[in-house]
């Protein structure tokens, strides 16, 4: 099984919701997974608690002043790196098997690319990596024999449904959408909606940008781009 091979884990974006969820799972399977690296933007309070709990060998903080402050707190416990170079170093840390890339936005591209070039198995929860440079990242993954595993909910579901089957088993892939606050509205009704209406998602509590992207279906467009790279499909949803 995949999980039996991936023992030593680095989590990029460990203080975010996906990173915290991953650590919650790992905490229940400490005999199978060892956290060797953590990376975050600037939330060193949560990061310090994670260090105390999981005893990683290396941590990285994008904000250099925050990294210095963290080093004063935990410098004797683990190596503390800083800045973009520090995040990259954590991503390609030599003594790891699996990298969870859960950094926010474009900041996830360079560390993910370095993890791929180091031959790591990468769990990708950062869609911007493939939206901005999918051709490059997937080509490098093939060249360096780095496994790419989708973590985003829709793409993870597709990955599990495919279950390693070849393209011949699938005619097309359909990405579903929640519909957001405008589901069921008629064209005439849509003429009077504004930003406040778009922010009233009926199911999820997300940041403003993601909520707006959901309401306008922009986020779904980005997911289509992500899917084209993950599953080698064209933008009509057909396997190519």
Q: Please choose, from the candidates 175, 172, 151, 174, the residue with its C-alpha nearest in 3D space to the C-alpha of residue 238.
A: 172
Q: Compute the CA torsion angle 105, 111, 116, 117 (nearest 10 deg).
A: 140
Q: Using CA of residue 134, residue 147, residue 224, residue 153, what is the dihedral sign?
A: negative
Residue 144's pLDDT is 96
**Sign of torsion, CA 227 231 232 235?**
negative
User: pLDDT for 199-234, tens place per residue?
Assistant: 988 777 777 888 888 888 888 888 888 988 888 765
Task: Classify burial at 54, counting beta carbons within 10 Å of its beta carbon; exposed 0-12, middle 13-18, buried 19 or more.
Answer: buried
pLDDT, tens digit (0-9, with 9 covering 90-100), for 118-143: 999 999 998 889 999 999 999 999 99
pTM summary value: 0.84
Average pLDDT of the chain is 88
CA distances from 167 to 134, 227, 232 (A): 19, 14, 9
Which of 87, 91, 86 is CA-nearest to residue 124? 91
Instruction: Please give the residue that has the higher pLDDT: either 180 or 64.
Output: 64
What is the set of domains in the chain, with CATH numbers? 2-151 (3.40.50.720), 180-216 (no CATH)
What distance in Å separates the CA atoms of residue 75 and residue 108, rounded to the nearest whole number? 25
Give the mean pLDDT of 140-148.
95
Choice between 96 and 6, residue whose per-residue pLDDT is larger:
96
- Take residue 7 and report the two structure tokens written for it: 């023992």
Instruction: Tell which wins on pLDDT, 160 or 171.
Output: 160
- Residue 237's pLDDT band, with cuts at 50, 70 and 90, is very low
Question: Confidence class of residue 239 from pLDDT cuts 50, 70 and 90?
Answer: very low
Per-residue confidence (pLDDT) for residue 219, from 0 to 100 = 84
């Amino acid at each position: 099984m995949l999980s039996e091979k991936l023992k030593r884990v680095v989590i990029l974006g460990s203080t975010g919701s996906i990173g915290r969820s991953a650590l919650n799972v790992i905490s229940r399977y400490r005999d199978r997974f060892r956290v060797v690296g953590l990376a975050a933007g600037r939330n060193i309070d949560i990061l310090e608690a994670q260090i105390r709990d999981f005893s990683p060998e290396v941590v990285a903080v994008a904000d250099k002043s925050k990294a210095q402050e963290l080093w004063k707190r935990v410098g004797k416990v683990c190596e503390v790196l800083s800045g973009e170079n520090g995040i990259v170093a954590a991503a390609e840390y030599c003594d790891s098997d699996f990298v969870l890339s859960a950094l926010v936005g474009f900041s996830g591209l360079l560390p993910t690319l370095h993890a791929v070039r180091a031959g790591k198995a990468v769990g990708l929860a950062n869609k911007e990596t493939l939206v901005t440079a999918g051709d490059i990242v997937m080509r490098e993954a093939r060249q360096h024999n780095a496994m790419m595993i989708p973590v985003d909910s829709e793409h993870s579901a597709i990955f599990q449904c495919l279950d390693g089957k070849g393209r011949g088993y699938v005619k097309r892939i359909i990405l579903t959408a929640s519909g957001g606050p405008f589901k069921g509205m008629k064209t005439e009704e849509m003429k009077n909606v504004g930003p406040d209406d778009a922010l009233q998602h009926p199911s999820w509590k997300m940041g403003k940008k993601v909520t707006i992207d959901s309401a306008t279906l922009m986020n779904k467009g980005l997911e289509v781009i992500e899917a084209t790279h993950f599953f080698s499909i064209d933008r009509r949803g057909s396997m190519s």
